[in-house]
Amino acid sequence: MATKRLDRAHDQLSLRDLLDARDQYHIHLMRHANVIATAIGLYRIRTKDSWPTERSEGKVHGTYARTLANSQIRYYSWPAILVFVERWVTEKELEPGDLVPKTLYLPDGRSIPVCVIEAPKESRNETRPLSTVFPVNNIGGGWPVIARNQGQEYAATIACLVSDGHTVYALTNRHVAGEAGEIIYSRLGGKEQRIGVSSEKHLTRALFTTHYPGWPGRDVYVNLDVGLIDIDNLDRWTAEIRHVGQMGKMVDLSVHTISLALIGRDVRGTGAASGEMEGEIAALFYRYKTNGGFEYVADLLIGPRPAEANKAKEPTFATHPGDSGTLWLLEPDDEGKSPKSKAKHKDYQPLAMQWGRNMLYSAGEARPQSYVLATLLSRVCAELGVDPVRNWNLDQPDTWSAIGHFSIANRAQVALSNRSPKLNTLMKNNADIISHDDATILAGEFSGMGSADFVALADVPDFYWKPRIAKQGFARTFEGPNHFADMDQPDPNGKTLLELCKDDPTTFIDPRKWAAFYDSVTDLESGDAIAEKYRGLLPFRVWQTFDAMVEFAAADKPREFVCAAGTLTHYIGDACQPLHISYLHDGDPLRLVEYTFTRGERKGQTEMRRFGKGVHGGYEDTMISAFREKVLAGLLNTPKTEAEEMITTGFEAAKLTVEMMRKTFTSIPPMAVVNEFGSFLGKPKERAEHLWRKFGNKTVKNMQSGAHLLAVLWESAWAVGNGDTNVTSTAGLTKDQAMAICADFDFIPSVSISRIGALLKPPMI
């Protein structure tokens, strides 16, 4: 089949245009007694109709009842409003005013096509028995759970595991999970067991205009029906999805990214009642019910794929009671790819969660066809402040980012002097764009990854640019090395970067020297050459960003200055943490110990691991998070900048950064942290308390150094760029403005150590 769409004026219509037209005409449409629902989609062509490429002789263009079962989305289908009717009626049978219009018109004259579909609802409940399969051992996405209420037993499906950075929950439907504290069961190994209790966190419905800000939808609710189960024992759970395995990254959708391109895409899910299901997205924003003057919308309407719908009387796609909660995953578009390059299960991206179904007649002798009603997962996660858990070792929210980086960004304001009042005003007006206030940091009322639409600038390098965990779509290949520099690994002569830069800073704080150093050493664990993505260049990233801030101040670009200053926060925050300066960042690669798995498919198996593996999270994440109040209180004592501390070049910024990294390394030797972490045998909370007793006060002092240095760099760049004279506005940025700047790959581009020199201003040696 050809894939090129025909050139039509209707193809230029956006999703917003269709929503706007439906909102304006919905009352008019629903006044037709025959109309039962509307949706947004692409015009459906009767399957037996001729294709445009067929010869004109004998062309077929049916006028009989169009149903979801006898029609399909073709490559040339155009944007349209779908109007579902109880019964297909010809024009001859209707009075003129009763005819559903074929076209709607926007105030500017643009026409909006209407596609009428016969789809009477089935009102009878399903009675045939269904066989529900329970897991033998570990439970996870796609497996059933059981709840009891008022003497009735309800079954539902676990969508997947999610985490708010502190607690892991199981995601399912609210109508099954029930009120907070209700006990949830399942069957493991043939025995019914309690698996957790319903969490206080849940969603029922939301106003369409609140859930999708800026989009039209008067008196409309989005049905969500989302509940969380607070899990009793994580050792019983797997992050994998039944029949899928490890899922890919969540499809991140918002008012800026949802599009009609979703229509017709293949999706799959695993329900507790139906098992494996393969479907197709039939429509968006299915407006299906009216109650008390309000109407209700489902984000997605999912039905059978065309090849199945056109086969026989018994549909092969079906969803049944008990499938509520099913996670639907978007299949990658493999069209045109060779069999060898077809997508694997891990490329299936979590898209939506099922909460209900509609039974629609398909016409003739065929049984009623079931259709899935689902909510977009990214909107659910944004509302609840959670993220999907794809694997126990992947994509866990970064608590150091949440507490450490935000705290340093927050306290840099404290360290600013009064020598540049305009700078102080600019940074104060943008404080909530760069970081969070104390109350938010202390309460943890945010996700490390930010929302679908906005990431605080202090978090942008991790969650907007870093390839491993970037949530948006603006990942930069070489962002990672900007966050660290292993400055304690000796070269063949026994010298480390810390020592070489101290002995001759003027000569050795040079990316060419560092590149040569990396060429001379090997990976201590594997013995391989150091790959480019592991050649840390943190001080040079500071140099590059300082140069950019000077340019922005001189050119009267306060928005870009704020974005550069805000993202610089992240790198300075990394530079004042000992494990960002060391080859010991994830334990000692020269001391391997035996580790035994306690959960998952490898439970009971052993492997050799670094002594102290996990120290990075234990020290920077768990410890800092547990003692966030003391961190914030201590950072209030960050000293203000002095006039004699001001610098004039990016080289000096890099030099100050290296000096701070050296002091941090001396204050808290990384090997000391690894030894304490690796040898402590207590629980994680007890270990965090132990680490704080050993290193807490020194950690706060190191973070004070980071906040102070950040203020020095902000003030210095502002002064060199003569910001007080050149900058005309100190207004705060909007979130959209900040994200638009950071989405530009040319904004302070992320490059490797071999390329960074070309982006730095002199002095260069």
On whether the CB atoms of residues 299 and 352 are closer than 8 A, the answer is yes
Count structural domains, the chain.
Answer: 3
Who has greater pLDDT, 20 or 288? 20
DSSP letter, residue 401: I
Of 88, 118, 148, which residue constitutes the final position of a domain? 118
Residue 409, domain member (yes or no): no
Closest by Cα among 667, 678, 661 to 618:
678
Q: Are strands 294-303 and 220-231 parallel, antiparallel or unpaired?
A: parallel
- The distance of Cα 633 from the centroid of its chain, to the nearest Å, equals 31
Residue 442, domain member (yes or no): no
Indicate if 147 and 111 belong to the same structural domain. no
Indicate if 571 and 667 belong to the same structural domain. yes
What's the whole-number mean pLDDT along residues 719-734?
96
Tell me, what's the pLDDT at 426?
Answer: 97
For helices 558-575 and 650-667, what crossing angle results, to 10°? Answer: 30
What's the whole-number mean pLDDT along residues 82-99?
79
Indicate if 586 and 697 belong to the same structural domain. yes
Tell me, what's the pLDDT at 126?
Answer: 52
| C-alpha–C-alpha distance, residues 211 and 205, integer Å | 9
Reply yes or no on whether the pLDDT at 377 is more than 90: yes
Helices (H) and strands (E) in the chain, counts: 25, 24
Tokens of 708: 């102070």
Residue 188, domain member (yes or no): yes
Residue 493, domain member (yes or no): yes
Residue 562, domain member (yes or no): yes
| C-alpha–C-alpha distance, residues 16 and 380, integer Å | 21
**First vs last C-alpha separation in the chain:** 60
Q: Enumerate the H helices of 149-284 as residue ranges.
A: 174-177, 208-211
pLDDT tens for each residue of 381-392: 888 888 898 865
Quote the domain boundaries for residue 158: 139-384
Residue 193: give its domain's CATH number. Answer: 2.40.10.10
Indicate if 214 and 283 belong to the same structural domain. yes
DSSP per position, 292-359: TTEEEEEEEEEE--HHHHTS-SS-S----TT-TTPEEEEPP--TT--GGGPPPGGGPEEEEEEEEEEE
- In terms of pTM, does the model score above 0.95? no
Tokens 């039962």 sit on residue: 36
Indicate if 174 and 106 belong to the same structural domain. no
Residue 133, domain member (yes or no): no
Tell me, what's the pLDDT at 445?
Answer: 45
Tell me, what's the pLDDT at 128?
Answer: 43
Tokens of 6: 């025909």
DSSP per position, 425-470: HHHHHTHHHHS--HHHHHHT-S-TT--SS---GGGHIIIII-TTT-
Q: Which residues fall within 8 angstroms of residue 227, CB to CB, at 6 or more apart?
A: 171, 172, 173, 174, 175, 176, 177, 178, 198, 199, 202, 203
What's the whole-number mean pLDDT along residues 393-420?
72
Indicate if 193 and 307 belong to the same structural domain. yes
> What's phi and psi for 250, nearest 5 deg?
-60, 140
C-alpha dihedral, 302 to 306 to 309 to 312, nearest 10°:
-160
Indicate if 72 and 157 belong to the same structural domain. no
Residue 497: give its domain's CATH number. Answer: 1.10.575
Highest mean pLDDT among 58-62, 320-324, 545-549: 545-549
Indicate if 200 and 337 belong to the same structural domain. yes
Residue 3, domain member (yes or no): no
Reply yes or no on whether the pLDDT at 553 is more than 90: yes
Tokens of 80: 């349209």
What's the whole-number mean pLDDT along residues 96-124?
83
Tell me, what's the pLDDT at 382?
Answer: 85
**Mean pLDDT over each residue of the chain, to the nearest integer:** 85
pLDDT confidence tier of residue 561, bands split at 50, 70 and 90: very high
Tokens of 200: 């206080």
Tell me, what's the pLDDT at 666?
Answer: 97
| Minimum mean pLDDT range among 216-220, 405-409, 464-468, 503-507 | 464-468
The C-alpha angle 702, 405, 379, rounded to 5 degrees, equals: 160
Indicate if 485 and 370 belong to the same structural domain. no
Indicate if 367 and 495 belong to the same structural domain. no
Indicate if 143 and 112 belong to the same structural domain. no
Tell me, what's the pLDDT at 90?
Answer: 77
Reply yes or no on whether the pLDDT at 368 is more than 80: no
Closest by Cα among 504, 470, 454 to 734:
454
Residue 445, domain member (yes or no): no
Reply yes or no on whether the pLDDT at 248 is more than 80: yes
Reply yes or no on whether the pLDDT at 600 is more than 50: no
CA distances to 20, 21, 449 from 256, rounded to whole Å, are: 16, 19, 18
